[in-house]
Structure 1
Amino acid sequence: MGNKIENKLKALLKEGKKALAWLIDPDKIVEDLSFLQQVKEMSQLNLDFIFIGGSLIEKNDIDRIIKLIKEVDSELPILLFPGSVVQFSNHADGILFLSLISGRNPDLLIGQHVTIAPLLAKSNLEVLPTGYMLIDGGVATSVNYISQTIPLPNNKPELAVATALAGSFLGLRYFYLDAGSGAKKPVSSAIIQNVKKAVSAPIIVGGGLDSLEKVKIAYQAGADLVVIGNGAEKNLSLLTEALEYINVLNLSLNIN
């Protein structure tokens, strides 16, 4: 296992640059040819990562989807974003090893991790220890139901900070602030800003980001990596707009 993904995320943090991940639910890939064309378009715009997974997956199709993506761009990093241990593929490049630190469900804090650990140790996946923090997005989401946990309040940044600090002291190296797929409102700027100040780690933000304006607000608040999933399903051009936006931002940093 190399550290290609870790090095890229650390460079973002050090240089103040921004990145984008496209979250793909493999169950929602309807037609291979159109999907491959979409991947090609995003690759040409320098998409940083593809995340694959979800709270509930009915078809065991992850291997095939990853192989399709790699046919288009073998260098584009693909990370598993698993809702459970069954969402595993050794064809991915890495895995967000998520510990749901905002909840009190022991199975998602450490239980499923123990189950998958021996398999990960034998794989070539880069393992990214990630504190997963579910934030109230104004509506019950699949993550709420599957995880059986209560989200952190979106208007209580001090609770989010305390949770992130605890995760940092436990040795977690990345933090994913998620309002959940289909959230009415994304993670608040106050939570992103305060967590960013509290921990020296890359901050990943997702959920409820269904417009370019919301994406910009997340970046401006301090997100290092923004994840778009449901928003891209409804409007793929949102990915294009977000990539064009961060490409301009990152270019200005290079010039300066």
Structure 2
Amino acid sequence: MKRVSRLLKGLAKKRRKGVAWLVDPEKVDDISQFAWVAKSGLDLILVGGSVSASPAFEDTVLQLKKVAGDIPVCIFPGSGLQLSDSADAILFMSLISGRNPEFLISHQVLAAPEVARMNLEVLPTAYLLVNQGELLSVHAVSQTLPLSNDDLELVRATALAGKFLGMRFFYLDAGSGAAAPVSAKVIEVVKDAVASPLIVGGGLSSGDKVKNAFEAGADLVVIGNAAEKDPDFLAEVLDIKQSYNLIEY
């Protein structure tokens, strides 16, 4: 088993909590200022964004590897063009909450030969966009509508379809900059349905929202915009993680 798979499966099996930092190459200029990251307690660094292709992508991955220390750097691709063999792993995602074939399978087909050539750990990931009806940049790029936090049956059925198709990891995302995160009830329903490592991101802009995600069943939370606006918030989330991991089950 590869490194990131072992991390995610270990969190789920041992009922531990993890934190990932999502870096958008379009929003962060000088990665060297994040030298503190190596000893921060982060579990994973994700790199990617909604922009399909960016000349800064490869450079951002290389810079992150320099400051990451032992923390794995994993690609969170906005398209099949966001690839780098300098990363440790890639979330090989299918946007199963939408019906746009480009993001269900087409980008994946185009990227597959290049991913096979690279020395990347590949994580088959079901990606579901779920929020309160907000249309954000990820929805504009993917040309899909999010599932609703209120439509629990459809969310559950969609997650089950991903499970039965053989996807091993699940990512619930409200979208970058979402005012409200994926609801606790949605997280509970999906975790119960798939019993697989569950990543949750988007709209986690306060400590209480992070706690709600953890308590509902998220194994790994992803912090992006909120950390860019307030670096101290990432430290707060890491403290919350540490508190949860002191609990003996």
Give the TM-score of the pair, scaled to structure 2.
0.96
Equivalent residue letter for 1:89: S
Match of 2:92 among 93, 97, 114: 97
Structure-to-structure mapping, 1:142-161, within 5 angstroms:
142-161=137-156
Contact 2:38–2:70, Cα closer than 8 Å, also in 1:
no
CA distance in 2, matches of 1:96, 1:129: 6
Contact 1:180–1:207, Cα closer than 8 Å, also in 2:
yes
How many residues align? The count is: 249
Structure-to-structure mapping, 1:1-256, within 5 angstroms:
3-30=2-29, 32=30, 35-38=31-34, 40-56=35-51, 59-253=54-248
CA distance in 2, matches of 1:137, 1:181: 13
Equivalent residue letter for 1:8: L
Q: CA deviation at 1:121?
A: 1.0
CA distance in 2, matches of 1:42, 1:204: 20
What secondary structure is seen at the aligned counterpart in 2 of 1:140? coil
Equivalent residue letter for 1:90: D
Equivalent residue letter for 2:23: I
Q: CA deviation at 1:25?
A: 0.5
CA distance in 1, matches of 2:97, 2:57: 27
Contact 1:209–1:231, Cα closer than 8 Å, also in 2:
yes
What secondary structure is seen at the aligned counterpart in 2 of 1:144? helix
CA distance in 1, matches of 2:52, 2:101: 21
CA distance in 2, matches of 1:125, 1:171: 20
Residues 193-252 of structure 1: CA deviation (Å, up to 9, x unaligned) = 011111121111011111111111111111001001111111111110011111122133
Contact 2:95–2:127, Cα closer than 8 Å, also in 1:
yes
CA RMSD of aligned residues (A): 1.4
Contact 2:135–2:145, Cα closer than 8 Å, also in 1:
no
CA distance in 2, matches of 1:114, 1:74: 32
CA distance in 2, matches of 1:157, 1:123: 38
Equivalent residue letter for 1:20: V
CA distance in 1, matches of 2:132, 2:247: 32
CA distance in 1, matches of 2:134, 2:165: 30
The structure 1 segments of at least 4 consecutive aligned residues displaced by more than 4 Å after TM superposition are none
CA distance in 2, matches of 1:68, 1:36: 7
Contact 1:178–1:206, Cα closer than 8 Å, also in 2:
yes
Q: CA deviation at 1:58?
A: 6.1
Give the TM-score of the pair, scaled to structure 1.
0.93
Unaligned runs of 5+ in 1: none
CA distance in 2, matches of 1:6, 1:226: 16
Query: Identity of counterpart residues, as a percentage?
Result: 50
Equivalent residue letter for 1:5: V
Unaligned runs of 5+ in 2: none
Residues 157-215 of structure 1: CA deviation (Å, up to 9, x unaligned) = 11111000000000000111000011111000110001111112111101111111111
